[in-house]
Copies of this chain bind each other. A is one copy, B any other.
């Protein structure tokens, strides 16, 4: 937290679903607020809370202003939560936002690459990235709708060249979630 302006790191995705020829990157989304939801398809709190919330966010805000992206950060049961299983899950739960499969660790560690790079502690994690590409919020567990709606709008209202006062993006876990073995 030394820097007030920490740029969000890029994500490394091995496969996209619901994305067209040019999958979303931090560069292509510059100028929009990004809601990045890191989830696992077999994480109960993700299914009960995050997936419906992500759907509500997508319906409320304009895609030109707020980008909503899912990241499948599998850190356990790798042989159950395969891309094939994820595709069936997205179909059954009618999830239409772009969802990327967080690329497995090349050294075989259980935590995938982007999850490690963002130092996520479990799922669901909700990340907010501002219009200038800076990581502004990182929450583990469920964030109440009222708060998340306010936080997103706070970033929407901010000018791209704003100089945010509080560099702290990390926040406490606020609800049920899954964490990897330590």
Contact = CB atoms under 8 A, between A and B. Distances in A.
Interface in A39-59: 42-44, 47-48, 53, 56-57
Copies in the complex: 4
Interface stretch (A98-106, A125-133, A145-153): A145-153
User: SS class of chain A's interface: helix, strand, loop or mixed?
Assistant: helix
Contacts of A85: 42, 77, 79-81, 85
Nearest to A57: B146
A92 interface: yes
Contacts of A93: 44
Interface string A140-182: 0000111111111110111000000000000000000010000
Contacts of A80: 82, 84-85, 87-89
A77 B88 contact: yes
Interface residues of A, number: 39
Contacts of A144: 56, 60, 145
A178 B56 contact: no
Nearest to A40: B92
A88 B82 CA distance: 12
Interface string A68-88: 000000001101111011011
14 contacts: A42-B85, A47-B47, A53-B146, A79-B84, A80-B82, A80-B88, A85-B85, A148-B149, A149-B150, A149-B153, A150-B150, A150-B156, A154-B156, A154-B157
